[in-house]
Structure 1
Amino acid sequence: MTVVWAEYTIEPDTQQKVLQGTATCDACYQASIAFEYYVWGGNDDPKKQFEFSEDLFWYPKHVRFVAGDGIPSHIAKAASEAYRCAAHRAPMAAVLMARTVVEATAKSKGVTQGRLVKKIDTMAERGLIRADTKEAAHEIRDFGNDMAHGDIADEPTTQDVADVLAFMDEVLQEVFIGPVRIAQLKERRLQAKQEREEAKAAEAAEQAAAAATPF
């Protein structure tokens, strides 16, 4: 991290001392801003305090990017955007994106008929998701429908958003990641079995050749 600018200010309403500043990442060179309240015994040099403080509130926050074996890139991008919205304190947008991910997941598996409620049930009927994952997907749908249809008087809480994103991950895990990893594990197991059998056959052939060779 390279500190670009930092200074101490006083918050007008609370008269609290605030350290704020900007810095660039030494790896990606992108800029971020951060602040912290009430620097007790801090360094008089705000840049030094900013550089070594462990209590800074960073913006944007570290954002989880969704990726995994088998997840189509457009769906992974939408899921990552859901996490990005949550990190940037946009809970309604996060829930809407999670709903979008569920519907896009259904469509990617050829489930295109009817509204999302029917698509989710069809995924379960086809064995793409289990019964409990179906219920999780419906929770995402219900929360997302509130946002989509303007029922926004009660904003989703931080816990609501965390649960919705966790349920979204379950859908992705079950539909995309799980089957691919199972296939990969099976392939490795069968490959290892074949290699063992080939090694045994080669060893047996060598022993037979040795036995047939006259002294």
Structure 2
Amino acid sequence: MTSIGPAVTAEYASGAAHIIENPFRCDNCHGLNIGGARVLSLPMNTAREDAMGAYWHSQDPDYWHPQFVQGQDYPDVPDHVARPASEAHTCMSVSAYMSAILMARSVIEAVAKDNGIDSGNLFKKIDAMHGKGLINEFAKKTAHTIRTFGNDMAHGDFAVEVDSADAKGVVTFMDYILREVYQAPAELQRLQDAADARKTA
């Protein structure tokens, strides 16, 4: 990234620190981003703009706008399940941790419904998935952990905060469930088809 300030550098106070923001141009794609940093003090004279611009020659921004938004591809997962699963990853990438957990919880329920398990609460749906052989014992425990994390928020209880480690764990194990139910069987079927093709060749 290359700073294209300092003439348009913005500066405003935030508590005891100043926040300076500056436009940058990507050296690869030439797209524009805004980089920002928190500093304790800035010069109060005619050299202010030059000083703020020079700041970026020795420092990297603390944060960027827009943030890098990252979804996920699930080629072997039905679209109506894959889209919310990808959205859980997108929420993670912009630090929307509660939203990521809530979306992951909803994905588990969508998996159950996609496999004909419509009745009962999510607890019963997860047990039914295990009973039908869709998920193994470890995946069952994983799904119940995701359900537990998301339950309070699903019912409007937000008193207990979640952090990035919580959300990352939930989304990672959501992916495990999708692999167990959809992706691994699809990969195995392709391998079996390839093996059968070799026999008949």
Distance (whole Å) between structure 2 residues aligned to residue 73 and residue 33 of structure 1? 34
Structure 1 equivalent of residue 112 of structure 2: 106
Q: Is this contact kept in 2: 1:2–1:26, CA < 8 A?
A: no
State the structure with more CA Rg.
Answer: 1
Q: Structure 2 CA distance, aligned partners of 1:65 and 1:142?
A: 24
What residue in structure 1 maps to residue 46 of structure 2? none
Match of 2:133 in 1: 127
Structure 1 residues 9-18 or 176-185, which shifts more? 9-18
**Cα deviation, residue 123, structure 1:** 0.7
User: Does 2:187 align with 1:185?
Assistant: no
Asked whether the 8 Å contact 2:19–2:36 carries over to 1, the reply is no
CA RMSD of aligned residues (A): 3.3
Q: List alignment gaps of at least 5 residues for structure 2.
A: 40-49
SS in 1 for 2:9: strand
What secondary structure sits across from 2:34 in the alignment? strand
> Of 75, 84, 98, which residue of structure 1 is paired with 2:81?
75
**Closer, same or farther: CA 189–91 of 1 in aligned 2, 3 Å:** same
CA drift of 1:143 comes to 1.2
Residues 36-95 of structure 1: CA distance to partner in whole angstroms, max 9, x if unpaired?
Answer: 456xxxx97949x59x97656333433332222321112111112112222222222111
CA distance in 1, matches of 2:142, 2:59: 40
Residues 7 and 19 in structure 1, CA contact (< 8 A), matched pair in contact too: yes
2:26 aligned with 1:20: no
TM-score by length of 1: 0.72
Name which of structure 1's ranges 6-15 and 133-142 shifts more when overlaid on structure 2.
6-15
Quick check: 1:85 aligned with 2:91?
Answer: yes
- Percentage identity across paired residues of the two chains: 34
Q: Distance in 1 between matches of 2:132 and 2:9?
A: 59
Q: In 2, distance between residues paired with 1:53 and 1:104?
A: 46
Give the secondary-structure state (helix, strand or coil) at the position aligned to 1:117.
Answer: helix
Q: TM-score, normalised by structure 2?
A: 0.77
Query: How far apart are the structure 2 equivalents of 1:174 and 1:25?
Result: 41
CA distance in 2, matches of 1:170, 1:143: 16
